[in-house]
Chains A and B, each alone.
Chain A
Amino acid sequence: MTIPQKLRDLAISETGFLFDPYTGSTFSANEPGLTVLEGLREGLGVADIATRLRESFDVPAAADVERDVGEFVHLLRRSGLVPEEFTA
């Protein structure tokens, strides 16, 4: 998977504060969101990121983690942090 330059350039703090140097916009991500961002910046796919989330968090049995990752990527697209054509 090609890692978009915008995603590489995104400034991310440990507390989940994000700064987009292209637009000046700022965002907050929660801890699982940070985990997904880290995974995407490492070039991981949805399944690997979901596995990492399961390893890192106490995930309820009913949770659909893959779907959650997909929705988060949709949010990144809507927020202009990855190109419209980007898929994980």
Chain B
Amino acid sequence: MTKPLYERPTLVRHQMGMMNKFGRAQAMQPLESIDGVSVDELVKTYGSPLFVFSEADLVARYRELHDLLALRYRKIRIAWSYKTNYLDAICKVFHREGAYAEVVSEFEYDKAMRMGIDPTHVHFNGPLKSEATLERVLPAGTVIHIDHFDEMAAAERVAERQGIRPKVAVRVNMAVESVPPWSRFGFNLESGQAMEAIRRLIAGDKLELAGVHCHLGTFITDPAAYKQAAAKLAHLANTLRSEHGVLLEFIDVGGGFASHNTLKAQYLPGEQATPSFSRYVEALTEGLSQLDCDPRDLPTLVLENGRALVDDAGYLVSTVVANKRLRDGRRGLVVDAGVNTLFTSFWYNHDVVSAQPFRGIPEPTVIYGPLCMNIDVVRDTLVFPAMSVGDRLVLKNVGAYNVTQWMQFITYRPAVVMVGRDGKHGLIRRREQLEDIVGPEEVPDWL
């Protein structure tokens, strides 16, 4: 007779709270493959830990947002937010779909130019654009979003020197309900500073005001905030037209849509709390209905999404290196990917699933990374099935901000692969090597 398979003897206390008014916790399903390619095969080919991106998910998210916008508003543009993930392959997918680039530094601008992006298809944000940078980007036709008066003055000097009249936008900040105000970027609307900046720009007569821009914040789960923001920008556009005869080419409402992650302080899981794209789009277009102009003169609606497009398309595969029993009775799993690799584990309770079928009783577990640092906690207490050394787990919704904000700290940064729509897969960034890190180092002769 065949003996039953062994699993570590375990004991789990029954606790209240497993049920709530939204139903019981969902049973975990293993994620054995990503877009038809087995996780096992990916790790055997590229190593562990490993970031995996689904091309199909990237395309699906972009098209969903684009098509919903196109249904409700005639002139739309999505500018892909480079800072959320500026790997060439990721950018290429979005640019292939028609996205402009939204960059916030000269480095990101260089990346966009390297990709062959038309400079006039770049929105340049951020509080630091040096005069040297402006000398380069303004003659190329890139639209900068002016953040402060000093930048406006610098742009005017460049325009005068170069004998050009570049198109620019003015960034404004504003108060809307349910979102903490981000007042550090741009000019404040309610205080009159934004109108003052615009009057100053018009009076200077060296720059052409093509658009206004705002970015409310990040991971905004209340679509009504966008309705208010769009309405305020629409009123600003109406004022510009009636008082100054300025017809804006675009109104840029920034990004900030939430992905399906769950913030650490969030009550409901992201799967339930995150609004659909259609709710954001509906709110935005309702706000823009305040525009008072000939339909032929409608400004283009620009969105600068990143997280909401890329986060759900990214996975991090990690391997169990040890099991521990903690003093308080919880199980500790040590895995080979830590907070240096998964920067967003500081923000989110990432959804983690097993990459192979499992048996036995799930129990309270803490997932630790491999760093010799007490802060290296990838997930603090989740109910997780028993795992053995060598087993794999998959962290979901990790596509945004990780492969840009990850740190070279203690370990090498892992490889990143993309799985294509037809089962093909390939490296989009190889694993880091010693030479990548020590290459820029120098030891002075005198040492």
Residues of A within 8 A of B3 (CB): 56-58
A74 engages B325 (CB within 8 Å): yes
Check: B96 CB closer than 8 A to any chain A CB: no
B103 to chain A, nearest CB (A): 50
A72 engages B10 (CB within 8 Å): yes
B326 to chain A, nearest CB (A): 9
A27 engages B9 (CB within 8 Å): no
Check: A25 CB closer than 8 A to any chain B CB: yes
Residues of A within 8 A of B360 (CB): 30
A77 to chain B, nearest CB (A): 9
Chain B: residues with CB nearer than 8 A to chain A? 2-14, 325, 328-329, 360-361, 388-389
A58 engages B2 (CB within 8 Å): yes
Sorted nearest first, the 8 A-B pairs with minimum C-beta distance are: A78-B329, A57-B6, A33-B9, A32-B9, A59-B6, A71-B325, A72-B9, A58-B3
A32 engages B7 (CB within 8 Å): yes
CB nearest neighbor in A for B390: A62
CB nearest neighbor in B for A71: B325
Choose from B4, B10, B11, B14 the contact partner of A57 (Cβ within 8 Å): B4
Residues of B within 8 A of A56 (CB): 3-4
Q: How far is the CA of A49 from the CA of B377 in the complex (A)?
A: 34
Q: How far is the CA of A88 from the CA of B388 in the complex (A)?
A: 24
Check: A79 CB closer than 8 A to any chain B CB: yes
Residues of A within 8 A of B12 (CB): 27-29
CB nearest neighbor in A for B325: A71
Extra 17 A-B pairs, beta carbons < 8 Å, given A71-B9, A74-B325: A18-B11, A27-B12, A29-B11, A29-B361, A30-B360, A32-B8, A32-B10, A35-B9, A36-B9, A59-B6, A60-B6, A63-B8, A71-B8, A72-B11, A74-B329, A78-B329, A79-B329
B14 engages A68 (CB within 8 Å): no
Contact A28/B361 with A58-B3, A58-B4, A78-B329 known, Cβ cut-off 8 Å: yes
Point out which of B10, B360, B389 has the most chain A C-beta atoms below 10 A from its C-beta: B10
B226 to chain A, nearest CB (A): 46
A79 engages B10 (CB within 8 Å): no
Q: How far is the CA of A57 from the CA of B328 in the complex (A)?
A: 28
Q: How far is the CA of A26 from the CA of B12 in the complex (A)?
A: 9
B8 engages A75 (CB within 8 Å): no
A25 engages B6 (CB within 8 Å): no
Contact A28/B325 with A58-B3, A58-B5, A58-B6 known, Cβ cut-off 8 Å: no
Q: How far is the CA of A15 from the CA of B16 in the complex (A)?
A: 21
Considering only residues 42-88 of chain A, those with a C-beta below 8 Å from chain B are 53, 56-60, 62-63, 65, 68-69, 71-72, 74-76, 78-79, 81
Choose from B5, B9, B14, B389 the contact partner of A25 (Cβ within 8 Å): B14
Q: How far is the CA of A58 from the CA of B2 in the complex (A)?
A: 8
| Between-chain CB contacts (< 8 Å), 22 pairs | A25-B13, A27-B11, A29-B10, A29-B11, A30-B361, A31-B4, A32-B10, A33-B11, A53-B9, A56-B3, A56-B4, A58-B5, A58-B6, A59-B6, A62-B389, A63-B8, A69-B9, A71-B9, A72-B10, A75-B10, A78-B329, A81-B11
CB nearest neighbor in A for B327: A78
Per-residue CB proximity of A10-46 to B under 8 Å, as 1/0?
A: 0000000010000001111111110110000000000
B5 engages A79 (CB within 8 Å): no
Q: How far is the CA of A79 from the CA of B14 in the complex (A)?
A: 11
Q: How far is the CA of A69 from the CA of B10 in the complex (A)?
A: 9
Q: How far is the CA of A32 from the CA of B6 in the complex (A)?
A: 7
Q: How far is the CA of A27 from the CA of B329 in the complex (A)?
A: 13
Residues of B within 8 A of A57 (CB): 3-6
A30 engages B329 (CB within 8 Å): no
Choose from A18, A26, A59, A75 the contact partner of B329 (Cβ within 8 Å): A75
Q: How far is the CA of A57 from the CA of B2 in the complex (A)?
A: 9
Q: How far is the CA of A76 from the CA of B11 in the complex (A)?
A: 8
Q: How far is the CA of A68 from the CA of B6 in the complex (A)?
A: 11
B328 engages A68 (CB within 8 Å): no
A79 engages B4 (CB within 8 Å): no
Contact A27/B14 with A58-B2, A75-B329, A78-B328 known, Cβ cut-off 8 Å: yes
A44 to chain B, nearest CB (A): 13
A29 engages B2 (CB within 8 Å): no
Point out which of B8, B14, B360 has the most chain A C-beta atoms below 10 A from its C-beta: B8
Residues of A within 8 A of B13 (CB): 25-27, 79
Q: How far is the CA of A31 from the CA of B3 in the complex (A)?
A: 12
B9 engages A26 (CB within 8 Å): no
B76 to chain A, nearest CB (A): 53
